[in-house]
């Protein structure tokens, strides 16, 4: 039997799956959502795909046994929010295609993209590999995020990569529109994105309960045909999504991240002085109540004649998207603090009582005994460091206590 490379799932899922695609699925006896990487699709059993399981913390503990996992965490302590942390594994599973829910977007924790995806739905971060027979956790990269990232596939592009990068482009456009010092009275900025794939629009509309409104419009094209300048008009459909009420905010955050609708009027200078194609530099500014911000308020009752909000228009026939943001200029604690709290953003502008987790962090960047943790052997209760020194788990805990 020859292996086939593609399965197209019918509506309402409507996605195309090839090997090295991350998927969300449910098992026959469980309603919890799981994440897996498609490893093979067989022609003799097209009703199933084989996946490699990516495990949550609870699944690792269930497999290893609670007695084998002491009060340590293999991931950062703040990994309980999106993007969720997962662990790659050597465990394989056959999944019925009827149990597949859609794509998942999984990244290695050191990828530069990770800082830009907080709060976006179906996003996950992986830093480790779990070997079920040896009961070891190794901090290393064992996968690529998209099929098109795999050089062995000879795949220049793929649907999940197209969807996610176009979502990031939309997010970037929204932020650029909000990061303006324009003095326009209506505080209204818009931008057009061309060649937005229909799969991206389907992903957006199928994963949020807000229904787009349909509009019949007249579309105008101009082009040059031989030695003639031509204008062409035709009627087509346009779909509109509006995010402006408090109940719309969680869905806007799922699409564009936790901080959607907040922009700054401050100019941040970032000078790239290093040479080479791999050079990367960043700068940041901690928000203060004295900052002047452009904020989409997501409010029930509007204060102006023009309602503030985020509007997305899509013309399928032209694959054209228009993004419009209508914001309010805000400054001062009374105006800014409710907006941060509404989005559940960390607020360092006001004092808070930190809570401490009972777990010790055995993450890949945890430095102890002049080395970083690279492997934890749960059976032997030992830890291997980057300097090739080996210690017991208890030794590492005692040293972490001493450093604190």
pLDDT score recorded for residue 185: 63
Helix (H, G, I), strand (E, B) or coil at 337: helix
C-alpha distances (whole Å) from 203 to each of 170, 327, 356, 364 are 13, 26, 38, 34
Which range is least confidently modeled, 98-112, 236-250, 262-276? 262-276
Of 2.40.50.100, 2.30.30.490, 1.10.8.60, 3.40.50.1970, the CATH number of 7-156 is 2.30.30.490
Supply 337's token pair: 């603090």
Helix (H, G, I), strand (E, B) or coil at 303: coil
CB-based contact 244:308 (threshold 8 Å) = yes
**Predicted confidence band of residue 353 (pLDDT cuts 50, 70, 90):** very low
Supply 296's token pair: 């989409």
CB-based contact 253:170 (threshold 8 Å) = no
Segments of 280-335 assigned E as strands: 292-295, 309-315, 320-326, 328-331
Segments of 56-187 assigned E as strands: 72-73, 84-96, 100-103, 105-108, 123-131, 136-138
For the purposes of burial, counting CB atoms within 10 Å of the CB of 395, is it exposed (0-12), middle (13-18) or buried (19 or more)? middle
Nearest alpha-carbon partner for 7 in 147, 111, 126, 138:
147
Helix (H, G, I), strand (E, B) or coil at 34: strand
**Predicted confidence band of residue 351 (pLDDT cuts 50, 70, 90):** very low
Domain with CATH 2.30.30.490 in the chain: 7-156
Nearest alpha-carbon partner for 95 in 151, 162, 26:
26
Is the pTM higher than 0.85? The answer reads yes
Supply 367's token pair: 């430095």
pLDDT score recorded for residue 388: 92
Q: Is the C-alpha dihedral spanning 11, 16, 17, 20 positive or negative?
A: negative
Segments of 57-119 assigned E as strands: 72-73, 84-96, 100-103, 105-108
Burial 11-40 (b: 16+ CB within 10 A, else e): eebebebbbbbbbbbbeeeeeeebbbbbee
Tens digit of each residue's pLDDT (9 = 90 or more) over 362-402:
888 888 999 999 999 998 999 999 999 999 999 999 998 88
Helix (H) or strand (E) holding 283: none
Tens digit of each residue's pLDDT (9 = 90 or more) over 306-340:
899 999 999 999 999 999 999 999 999 999 999 99
pLDDT score recorded for residue 45: 67
CB-based contact 127:364 (threshold 8 Å) = yes
Supply 133's token pair: 């027979």
Statement: residue 8 has pLDDT above 90: no
| DSSP alpha helix (H) spans, 207-328 | 249-256
Segments of 200-290 assigned E as strands: 213-225, 228-243, 262-264
CB-based contact 124:84 (threshold 8 Å) = yes
Nearest alpha-carbon partner for 75 in 394, 361, 300, 360:
361
Distance CA 163, CA 202 (A): 10
Helix (H, G, I), strand (E, B) or coil at 357: coil
């Amino acid at each position: 039997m020859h292996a086939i490379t593609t399965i197209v799932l019918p509506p309402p899922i409507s996605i195309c799956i090839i090997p090295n695609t991350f998927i969300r699925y449910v098992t026959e006896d469980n309603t919890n959502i799981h994440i897996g990487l498609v490893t093979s699709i067989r022609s003799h059993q097209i009703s199933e795909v084989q996946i490699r399981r990516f495990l949550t913390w609870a699944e690792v503990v269930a497999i290893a046994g609670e007695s084998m996992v002491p009060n340590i965490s293999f991931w950062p302590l703040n990994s309980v929010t999106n993007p969720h942390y997962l662990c790659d594994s050597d465990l394989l599973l056959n999944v019925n295609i009827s149990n597949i829910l859609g794509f998942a977007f999984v990244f290695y924790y050191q990828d530069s993209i990770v800082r830009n995806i907080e709060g976006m739905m179906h996003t996950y971060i992986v830093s480790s590999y779990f070997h079920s027979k040896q009961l070891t956790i190794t901090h290393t990269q064992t996968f690529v995020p998209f099929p098109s990232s795999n050089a062995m596939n000879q795949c220049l592009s793929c649907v999940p990569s197209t969807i996610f990068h176009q979502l990031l482009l939309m997010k970037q456009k929204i932020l650029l529109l909000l990061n303006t010092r324009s003095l326009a009275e209506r505080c209204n900025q818009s931008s057009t994105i061309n060649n937005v794939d229909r799969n991206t629009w389907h992903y957006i509309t199928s994963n949020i309960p807000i229904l787009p409104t349909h509009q019949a419009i007249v579309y105008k094209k101009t082009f040059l045909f031989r030695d003639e300048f031509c204008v062409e008009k035709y009627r087509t459909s346009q779909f509109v999504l509006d995010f402006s009420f408090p109940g719309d905010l969680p869905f806007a955050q799922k699409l564009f991240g936790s901080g959607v609708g907040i922009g700054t009027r401050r100019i941040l200078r970032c000078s790239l002085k290093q040479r080479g194609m791999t050079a990367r530099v960043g700068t940041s500014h901690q928000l203060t109540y004295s900052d002047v911000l452009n904020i989409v308020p997501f409010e029930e009752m509007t204060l102006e004649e023009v309602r503030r909000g985020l509007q997305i228009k899509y013309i399928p026939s032209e694959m054209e998207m228009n993004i419009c943001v209508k914001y309010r200029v805000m400054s001062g604690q009374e105006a800014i603090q409710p907006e941060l709290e509404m989005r559940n953003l960390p607020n360092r502008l006001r004092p808070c009582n930190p809570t401490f987790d009972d777990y010790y962090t055995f993450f890949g960047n945890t430095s102890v005994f002049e080395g970083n943790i690279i492997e934890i052997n749960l059976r032997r209760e030992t830890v291997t460091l980057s300097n090739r020194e080996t210690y017991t788990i208890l030794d590492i805990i005692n040293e972490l206590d001493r450093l604190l």
